[in-house]
Amino acid sequence: MTRRITILGATGSVGQSTIDLIARARDSYQVVALTGRRNVERLARDAVALSAEIAVTAHEECLEELRARLAGSGIEAAAGEAALIEAAARPSDWVMSAIIGAAGLRPGLAALEQGAVLALANKETLVCAGALVRRVAARAGARILPVDSEHSAVFQALAGADMDAVDRIILTASGGAFRDWPAERLEHATLAEASCHPNWNMGQRITIDSASMFNKAMEVIEAQHLFDIAPERIEVLIHPESLVHALVGFRDGALMAHVGVPDMRHAIGYALHWPERRALPVERLDLARIGQMSFAAPDEGRWPALRLAREVMAAGGLRGAAFNAAKERALDGFIAGRIGFCDMARVVETVLARMEGDAALIDGEMTLDNVMATDHLARRRADEAMTQRTG
């Protein structure tokens, strides 16, 4: 039986790895929708190759080009946020959520509302609106499967265990591009330096977030929501080799580790075939050749992002949405050369502190409207904070 599938963010790093797996078994899948943004050439090429029903670009100005590239194929073309949500709402069995940033929230919710399995790479969905997303999934009877490699590893290490038997979850972090840099040098890290990951080949934004540890900070919040576990039971462990992706500690002292090569097609494929395990085109590890693996405690002084995430989880409310939005704007600022590498965490901290003055909003009910209002306000506050820094 063919499965109907949709890939949100199909033109990105995770989206392309998903397509790689789908393309190897074309007859097993009926592709409903593929979405992207500016890379219309790639979007159209894949839509044709996979005979998608519809291709959507998030960028309205790209619609003409998308139409032209799809002319004669019989594939629908659409553009804009509403079209993206409409595509996500089309009946599908499995939807990959691989848009980057808070822009992935609404399409992901639409997919859950129609009852699809949501393969979640977009961690921002849970960072911004964890409680809301869980509520929507429960109401629709829809399942969320983790795709973030650490969370897929936890999910696999749990293997149906009762959460009552779990003491702790340990997420590993490579330490990113600047793991071995002295702290003083971090201030002067350039965009090019921050855009290279030692082990993983990913999109630019998440690569920089790995260097600043914001990625891991977001992943701790993501784990809290995915596994319904208290924040103090989630640990971060530096593991430069990126071979152990996560560990689960059980109350009897056992630690179950997930070990594998850093290739997103493993986590994507696990979510695609779950609850089965099928053959995947990933390299097999030769541990005897590797010989050693190393681990170290993270230094929260060096990486304020981890401390900020802990504060966000402790205070709760809508602070996750503020944290993510401020981080996204600060990252835009770093990419644009407006602020330095270490300023990103300073901007986020400033925004979170200022937003304590908006208690009616950030301690309000977690509705989609309130999440979006918090997101917008935090972006504005981040812009103000960056203007103050740069004059």
> Annotated binding site for Mn(2+): which residue ranges?
148, 150, 219
Bridge partners, 244 (sequence order)? 259
Distance of CA 342 to CAs 32, 145, 283, 333, 352, Å?
A: 42, 33, 36, 12, 16
Q: Give the residue, chosen from 54, 77, 95, 99, that forms a contact with ligand NAD under the rule CB under 6 A.
A: 99
Please choose, out of 67-75, 85-93, 94-102, 229-237, the segment that lies near ligand NAD by the rule CB under 6 A. Answer: 94-102
Q: Give the residue, chosen from 46, 65, 124, 148, that forms a contact with Mg ion under the rule CB under 5 A.
A: 148
Q: Between residues 73 and 195, which has the closer beta carbon with respect to Mg ion? A: 195
Tell whether residue 222 is a contact of ligand NAD (CB under 6 A).
Answer: no
Q: Between residues 36 and 130, which has the closer beta carbon with respect to ligand NAD? A: 36
Burial pattern 9-30, b for ≥16 Cβ within 10 A else e, equals bbbbbbbbbbbebbeeeeeebb
Q: Between residues 21 and 100, which has the closer beta carbon with respect to ligand NAD? A: 100
Q: Over 365-376, what HEC string results?
A: CCCHHHHHHHHH
Binding partner selected for residue 123 from Mg ion, ligand NAD, none, CB under the kind-specific 5 to 8 Å limit? ligand NAD
Tell whether residue 103 is a contact of ligand NAD (CB under 6 A).
Answer: yes
Give the footprint of Mg ion on residues 150-189 (CB under 5 A). 150
Q: Between residues 146 and 317, which has the closer beta carbon with respect to Mg ion? A: 146
Q: Give the residue, chosen from 203, 231, 249, 364, that forms a contact with ligand NAD under the rule CB under 6 A.
A: 203
Binding partner selected for residue 176 from Mg ion, ligand NAD, none, CB under the kind-specific 5 to 8 Å limit? none
Q: How far is the CB of 295 from Mg ion (least distance, A)?
A: 17
Tell whether residue 13 is a contact of ligand NAD (CB under 6 A).
Answer: yes
Q: How far is CA 168 from the centre of its chain?
A: 22
Residue where the block lists tokens 């820094």: 389
Task: List the binding residues for NADPH.
Answer: 11-14, 38-39, 122, 124, 203
Burial pattern 209-220, b for ≥16 Cβ within 10 A else e, equals bbbbbbbbbbbb
Kindly determine how many residues on this chain lie close enough to bind Mg ion according to the rule CB under 5 A. 3
Distance of CA 265 to CAs 13, 296, 342, Å?
A: 11, 27, 32
Please choose, out of 99-107, 170-178, 306-314, 316-324, the segment that lies near ligand NAD by the rule CB under 6 A. Answer: 99-107
Tell whether residue 46 is a contact of Mg ion (CB under 5 A).
Answer: no
Q: Which two tokens stand for residue 252?
A: 């009897």
**Cis amide leading into 182 (omega within 30):** no
Q: Between residues 11 and 122, which has the closer beta carbon with respect to Mg ion? A: 122
Alpha-carbon distance 113 to 141, whole Å? 9
Phi/psi of residue 164, each to 5°? -65, -25
For residue 296, give the DSSP letter: B
Helix-then-strand count for the chain, H and E = 18, 11
Residue 310 Ramachandran class (φ > 0 left, ψ -120 to 50 alpha, else beta): alpha
Q: Between residues 148 and 328, which has the closer beta carbon with respect to Mg ion? A: 148
Give the contact letters, 285-304, x = binds to Mg ion (CB under 5 A), - = no. Answer: --------------------
Q: Which two tokens stand for residue 211?
A: 């260097």
Binding partner selected for residue 212 from Mg ion, ligand NAD, none, CB under the kind-specific 5 to 8 Å limit? none
Residue where the block lists tokens 């925004």: 351
Tell whether residue 209 is a contact of Mg ion (CB under 5 A).
Answer: no
Residues that bind ligand NAD (CB under 6 A): 9-15, 36-37, 58, 84, 98-100, 103, 121-124, 148-149, 200, 202-203, 205-206, 264
